[in-house]
Chain A
Amino acid sequence: MGVSVIVFALVQLVPGDPIRLALGTRFDQETYDALLERSGLDQPLVQQYFNWAGRALTGDLGVSFRSGETVTSLIAERLPATLTLAFASIVVALAIAIPLGTVSALRPRSLVDRFATVISQFGISVPDFWMAIVLILVFAGTLGWLPSGGYVPLSEDPLGWLQRLILPALVTGTVSGSVITRFVRSSVLEALGSDHVRTAQAKGLRTRQVFGWHVLRNALLPLVTVTGVQLAYLLSGVVVVEIVFSWPGLGQLALQAVQARDYPVLQGAILLFAVVFLVINLVVDVLYTAIDPRIRR
């Protein structure tokens, strides 16, 4: 509820007149008024909000000003691509972060640690579009191993799906992975220094056991939260990468909606991002309760 008000208000703050933009240059007052009335934009804002929220509750997010398609179908069309990229990126991110973060925590100030620090600093600070372009130039251009962009559904062409997924997932995965690497490093370091790990060592457990059950198990608890945050971000915020790779995801949809002042689509997309965030938070909470006995009652 609160979220929906904020979403609605935010979109209203976007400057520009959607109808004018929808009509383009062919513009006459009559069509304008007709469209205005049909879209409900002539009504007071509060009224508009309740109209929108009421319909949203029933799953009707309205109709795009631009294309005339329903917002729900527009979103549904984009959802698979976005989900695919987000989950692939998280897999890449964790595949980088867990080993790299762990090894650098085990050997602080070692070569590996320094390397990891540089890499994650790089991943955090280098703009993703730049990384995307470099990867395209190398792997799609020079080497010609992978396509430079696009998306095909898994069901149609599994190999093509994978080939097109690799580069964008690598870019977004590296960015998220860099953030998570630092996190893993510090939480493994903390776990390594904790009293209960010392107790485990004092029992004469094998290194593998100490590490798996006492260090990692505890260090990775908070990882659930960061991964959740990163996933939420990946599900909503990878506009630039989607554009560079012509990836037909929600980020692109939202961007186009902003450019066209297509309020219903924009509101729908943002509402979806908000819901995704809430759902991920919920999942994180549920996971936490499952893995951390201190939270269970």
Chain B
Amino acid sequence: MSAPTPVLEVEDLRVRLRTPRGPADVVNGLSYSVGPGETVAVVGESGSGKSVSVLALLGLLPRGVATVTGRALLQGEDLLTMPPERLRQVRGPGAGMVFQDPMTSLNPVLTIGRQLVEGLRAHSDMDKAAARRRAAELLGEVGLPDPDGALDRYPHELSGGMRQRVIIAIALSNSPALLIADEATTALDVTVQAQIIDLVEKLQADHGTGVIWITHDLGVVAGIADRVLVMYGGRCVEDGTVDDVLEHPAHPYTRGLLGALPDLAQPAVDGVVPDLATVPGTPPAPTDLPPGCVFWPRCPVRGDARCETEQPPLVQIGPSSGALPHRAATWCTETSALGTESSGEAR
């Protein structure tokens, strides 16, 4: 099927942060789109710019520190240039966000109920009682035991997993057109995780919600994503359908990530979900990116003379199994395919 108007269309997103060690180019020209009902998984090592790239979309990076350029069309409207009041209206019903750190993302001095109710009431003329009922309902949906009782509790009275569910409930409370989930289920056990995923899928079916799911968990990627975007050094180094990327990874970095992966044909045995492999070495500092391929300093392949000096563009690398192109930003798709032990081939 040819994609209808995307929920989110990101073009050449760049984020530069001011740091004590000079300007850090944390996101460097990211382009992707999320269709209605579609789930895009974003994977990549710690520090690759996943969180920053989504926070930038909603203008949630610290003011005065971050410079964001590019375009980010949410249902046709550019998030990066919209007036503040419009952005406020969009936050919530337009895009809901589940934050990475459940321990610090809730206000410690307000009750859970209040924190949900204020989000609901900011976008509707619901009265307090109705908003409270809806809040309890949402807490029930995310699998919080005793949702009514939880309304009057404070964050410190809940466990990490429970707080994470509260944050998910807040993000879902206005049935957003776009849901951004940053490591949303890391603190949750497998059953609760499955429950959350069901809930999100229901939201996608009912509202055509597009989902950006940032995760380290390849089981989740394989289970829910339609599309995978691999980030490295603030760039998209590879993207495509889940099948293409997981089965035929083209970029040496992606192959490194998938390297230690048990066969994806039998995923999640007994609830044991595979995690991303560790690639030897450390990612480049965003204050000091290499001039050529971002992965060059750690790359075991280095199969092309241009690797060190010239930045490879993100281009289609071959026939794709689905409707989406399979793209990678590497000079060495062919050469590297020979020297890999990973589960697939690049062509």
Q: Which residues of A contact B (CB under 8 A)?
A: 108-109, 193-207, 209, 213-214, 217-218, 221, 291-294
Contact = CB atoms under 8 A, between A and B. Distances in A.
A204 B88 contact: yes
Contact of A293 (B90, B156, B167): B156
Interface of B: 55, 58, 60, 62, 64, 84, 88-93, 96-97, 99, 101, 104-111, 115, 118-119, 122-123, 154, 156, 167, 170-171, 174
A213 B107 CA distance: 9
B93 A213 contact: no
Given A204-B89, A204-B122, A294-B154, A199 B108 contact: no
Nearest to A191: B107
18 contacts: A198-B55, A199-B105, A199-B115, A200-B107, A201-B91, A202-B92, A202-B97, A202-B171, A203-B91, A203-B122, A204-B89, A204-B93, A204-B174, A207-B88, A213-B110, A217-B109, A293-B108, A294-B156
A199 B167 contact: yes
Nearest to A294: B156
Q: Which of A195, A196, A218 has the most CB of B within 10 A?
A: A196
A54 B111 CA distance: 49
Q: Which 5 A-B pairs have the closest CB atoms?
A: A204-B92, A204-B91, A203-B119, A195-B104, A293-B154
Contacts of A207: 84, 88
Contacts of A202: 58, 60, 91-92, 96-97, 99, 171
B229 to A, nearest CB: 21
Contacts of B105: 195-196, 198-199
A101 B107 CA distance: 22
A200 B118 CA distance: 9
A292 B109 CA distance: 6
Given A108-B64, A193-B62, A204-B92, A199 B107 contact: yes
A203 B99 contact: no
Contacts of B110: 213-214, 217
Contacts of A201: 60, 91
B74 to A, nearest CB: 13
B24 to A, nearest CB: 17
A108 B18 CA distance: 14
Contacts of B107: 196-197, 199-200, 213-214, 217-218
A222 to B, nearest CB: 12
B37 to A, nearest CB: 22
Interface of B is mostly: loop
B278 to A, nearest CB: 27
Nearest to A202: B97
B123 A204 contact: yes
Contact of A205 (B60, B93, B111, B122): B122
B109 A218 contact: yes
A280 to B, nearest CB: 22
B232 to A, nearest CB: 25
A214 B108 CA distance: 9
Interface of A is mostly: helix
B118 A209 contact: yes
B60 A213 contact: no
Nearest to B55: A198
B113 to A, nearest CB: 13
Contacts of A206: 88, 122
A196 B118 contact: no
A214 B111 CA distance: 12
B243 to A, nearest CB: 33
Contacts of B156: 293-294
Contacts of A221: 109
B332 to A, nearest CB: 40
Contacts of B96: 202
B92 A218 contact: no
Contact of B119 (A193, A196, A204, A218): A204
Given A209-B118, A294-B156, A204 B90 contact: yes
Contact of A195 (B89, B93, B101, B119): B101
Contacts of A217: 107, 109-110
B99 A195 contact: yes
Nearest to B87: A204
B108 A213 contact: no
A229 B122 CA distance: 39
Given A108-B64, A204-B89, A204-B93, A199 B106 contact: yes
A147 to B, nearest CB: 45
Contacts of B109: 217-218, 221, 291-294
B173 to A, nearest CB: 8
A111 B201 CA distance: 50
Q: Which of B104, B105, B154, B156 has the most CB of A within 10 A?
A: B105
Contact of A203 (B55, B84, B101, B170): B170
Given A108-B64, A293-B108, A294-B154, A205 B119 contact: yes
A214 B106 CA distance: 10
Q: Which of B55, B108, B156 has the most CB of A within 10 A?
A: B108
A179 B110 CA distance: 28
B179 to A, nearest CB: 12
Nearest to B62: A193
A194 to B, nearest CB: 7
A102 B118 CA distance: 23
Given A292-B109, A294-B154, A196 B104 contact: yes
